[in-house]
Amino acid sequence: MPARHRDNVAFTVIVWSLVGVGAVGVLLVLALAGAPSTLLVATVLAALPVGPVVATYLWLDRYEPEPRSLLVAGLLWGAVVATTAAIILGGIGGLVAGFDDTRATVLVAPVTEEATKGLFLVLLLWWRRHELDGVLDGIVYAGMVGVGFAFTENILYLAAAYNGTNGLGPGGVEALTGTFLLRCVMSPFAHPFFTAFIGIGVGIAVGSRSGLVRVLAPVVGYAVAVGWHALWNGSSYLPVGFLGTYGLLMLPAFLLLVAVAVWCRSTERRVLTAALHDAASRGLLPASDIPWIADLRLRTRVRRDARRGGGSQAAAVVREYQQAAVELGFLHHRVLRGTAPTDFVQRGQGHLSRMSAARPQIPIPAQVVTVR
């Protein structure tokens, strides 16, 4: 069995087995969290920010869309595996260390939660490294894991607020509303933000030629994620209070991370265009195809024109060609940088085979603009 296939099988078996076990754990926790009607309301409220946040990460991921199966796996990992493991590890850690609830929240929770969320990224780095092309991919996968984790955690917090079991009051609609505004309106990106630093570390590791950086970058990313998470959990105990921490530290840091992600997204176009031009100079694809591969608007326009002329099947052929060319472009970029996976020749041949099969079925677009 080829090493690539073994890695894919190992990753799939381990991740989905743990998702199954984690789902059982989450269901048991939810069963103890309150009445079915309360959990239903909490689930609906917790789901409201999920769509917009996921859509944001899919928008960031448009230049080289990651496999939907892996994005879903990351979402489910956060929702059931990381949540269940964090509950178990947090309980053990708090018991062994003898921490009260405050210290457990500020010290134990960030360490265990970021470790359980970040493990998915480590598994990707270990077995599916070829799916990671840089920092933006790390941020996207980290975001999906964080969204899943926040969803399940918000259900528990919302149910506890309504039931009055969170230690902050008698509960009811008012407590539920306050918790919803705090967790689902003011800070829906909190967990994705924390874990994004692990994703950045993993992305740096993938793109580095230094063995030391490959080891240290994810570790430093994890440490930064834990630090921000601890700061968030302990914000109400700081002199500036929760709102001061939110406004002076968390929000600016989050906006800076957004700027970095958007910059990485814009960089992907330049990287892809340059790599495809180099590949075209080597005869791997026609240079005239590059504009409607590297430019998102032209990608969409060509697919739309294909659908008008040949239906959904024609659009699917265009999409297949574009996707294979994009994957070839980013692989070629890594080859030029000296950070390509060991089986880059086989992967490149696979992309070229897909392109060769699809290209004859695509009419040359009548008009395209030059990508600069």
Q: What is the pLDDT of residue 370?
A: 45
Residue 45: pLDDT band (50, 70, 90) is very high
Q: What is the pLDDT of residue 123?
A: 95
Query: Helix/strand/coil (H, E, C) string of 15-48?
Result: HHHHHHHHHHHHHHHHHCCCCHHHHHHHHHHHHC
Q: What is the pLDDT of residue 372?
A: 43
Indicate the domain borders of the chain.
3-233, 270-361
Nearest to 195 by CA among 257, 242, 128: 257
Residue 3: pLDDT band (50, 70, 90) is low
**Average pLDDT, integer, range 244-266:** 91
The b/e string for 261-285 (b: 16+ C-beta within 10 A; e otherwise) is: beebbeebeebbbebbbebbeeebb
CA–CA separation, 321 and 289 (whole Å): 10
Q: What is the pLDDT of residue 86?
A: 92
Q: What is the pLDDT of residue 367?
A: 47
CA–CA separation, 330 and 326 (whole Å): 6
Q: What is the pLDDT of residue 341?
A: 82
Q: What is the pLDDT of residue 366?
A: 46
> Within a 10 A sphere around the Cβ of 239, how many other Cβ atoms?
6
Residue 368 has pLDDT above 60, yes or no: no
pLDDT digits (tens, 9 = 90+) for 300-338: 899 988 888 888 898 999 999 999 999 999 999 999 988
Under 8 Å CB-to-CB from 311, ≥6 apart: which residues?
none
CA–CA separation, 40 and 87 (whole Å): 21
R_g of the chain computed on alpha carbons? 23
Nearest to 258 by CA among 203, 189, 204, 207: 189
CA–CA separation, 71 and 190 (whole Å): 19
Residue 172 has pLDDT above 90, yes or no: no
| Average pLDDT, rounded, for the chain | 89
Q: What is the pLDDT of residue 310?
A: 82
Q: What is the pLDDT of residue 4?
A: 65
Residue 201 has pLDDT above 90, yes or no: yes
Nearest to 331 by CA among 359, 352, 302: 352
pLDDT digits (tens, 9 = 90+) for 78-125: 999 999 999 998 877 666 666 767 778 888 899 999 999 999 999 999
pLDDT digits (tens, 9 = 90+) for 318-328: 999 999 999 99
Residue 21 has pLDDT above 90, yes or no: yes
Residue 202 has pLDDT above 50, yes or no: yes
